A and B are shown apart, each in its own frame.
Chain A
């Protein structure tokens, strides 16, 4: 072999070795990772809609919608649906509050059939630690107050923070974050009110979610 080819050959061998290492690791972890992700998604849904309240598998009963002005994202949104004895029970929608203090706030909003909130949780955010992060259920109970509320309670016009003439308290030193969250929940409720039937509809004869 020509002398100048030797480093190239060695580098190729290293690359093949690295590829083999990754392939083997992936092979042994891929199944477990998929299972873990499914469990994590399920745990998040169960926090809002407890497992004993419905009898279908929410992760398999989904519908994809797109409503940038109400759900805060231009991307298609996967809505999870809970049913009991085949009757609509609740939906859980991933909603984005685009106007957080430091970037979008990702929420899971659960709404019971009829329009009452089952609950809201924050999935991810970049709000200031100690101020805006009080929206996390692990930090304060603030986000828990929404369970049971609807567009009639308080009336739709009062779905805002107190600083804006609404019914909801914000935190000392952080108004922007609660404002964004309250607004996102209100929009999700409006969207649900206008599309409840369509959200629960089972597309007839759709073979499988492929």
Chain B
């Protein structure tokens, strides 16, 4: 517990500097598999965020009892039961979305970003900061999912927010946009390679933005992006 990061710093790191999807490249399996439409991406992103906030809070609250030898089993237990609880709630309240996402909800368990944050952050910081860290990391992950989902949906199907009713109920149906009527579809964007290419482009874009921002200020002080955790 050498340094206590400020709330703003936690938020910026989670969402941008140390983004789970773009910088740490964690949780790629769901990121690539479910980012084929905006609604799928948003659904899984929100579920992951909920799990991150829950697990970070629980781990942080109980960190006094977390002796080193039982640390990992406890993380696994906490994460697995949180995911199962979220899965039950989604099944009850967003039944159709639950069926669309299928196996990828239980697979949130295997998202290394979650155990990574529990180990690297929540087991060392107070519950408030840990919950915020979970929220920020989840938000960053969800944002990447949604942007990738929008890219793939627009390119692959020529629509945006299709089937939004799965998540938002009847109001969501009005959000549905057909960008290009009678779009023949672009298979590459729909299939997994499209996800890899899209993610690669997003990583490149982020690096480009960072480089451009870093250069004019001072070329001498090449400050690397704040603490990239190895996770």
Q: Which chain A residues have a beta carbon within 8 Å of chain B's beta carbons?
A: 6-7, 10-11, 13-15, 18-19, 21-22, 25-26, 29, 32-33, 36-37, 39-40, 129-131
Contacts and interface: CB of A to CB of B under 8 A. Distances in A.
A115 B190 CA distance: 39
A26 B88 CA distance: 7
Nearest to A173: B187
Interface string B70-99: 100110011011101100110111011001
B65 interface: yes
Contacts of A40: 95-96, 99
Chain B at the A interface: SS class: helix
21 contacts: A7-B69, A10-B65, A10-B74, A11-B73, A11-B74, A14-B77, A14-B78, A18-B78, A21-B82, A21-B85, A22-B81, A22-B84, A25-B84, A25-B88, A26-B88, A36-B92, A40-B99, A129-B191, A130-B185, A130-B187, A130-B190
B178 interface: no
Interface string B166-199: 0000000000000000000101001100000000
Contacts of B84: 22, 25
A29 B74 contact: no
Contacts of A39: 95
The 9 tightest CB contacts between A and B, nearest first, are A18-B81, A36-B95, A29-B92, A32-B92, A130-B187, A25-B85, A29-B88, A7-B70, A129-B190
Interface of B: 36, 62, 65-67, 69-70, 73-74, 77-78, 80-82, 84-85, 88-89, 91-93, 95-96, 99, 185, 187, 190-191
B164 to A, nearest CB: 14
Select the residue from B70, B73, B191 with max chain A CB neighbours within 10 A: B70
Given A10-B65, A11-B70, A40-B96, A29 B81 contact: no
Given A33-B88, A33-B95, A130-B187, 19 more contacts: A7-B67, A7-B69, A10-B74, A11-B73, A14-B74, A14-B77, A14-B78, A18-B77, A21-B85, A22-B85, A22-B88, A29-B88, A29-B89, A29-B92, A33-B91, A36-B91, A36-B92, A36-B95, A129-B191
Nearest to A39: B95
Contacts of B77: 14-15, 18
B51 to A, nearest CB: 13
Nearest to A130: B187
Contacts of A21: 81-82, 85
A44 B219 CA distance: 63
Contacts of A131: 187
A19 B191 CA distance: 39
A32 B93 contact: yes
Contacts of A36: 91-92, 95
A32 B95 CA distance: 10
Contacts of B80: 18
Contacts of B74: 10-11, 14
B74 to A, nearest CB: 5
B105 to A, nearest CB: 13
B40 to A, nearest CB: 13
Contacts of A29: 88-89, 91-92
Contacts of A130: 185, 187, 190-191
A191 B62 CA distance: 61
Contacts of B36: 129
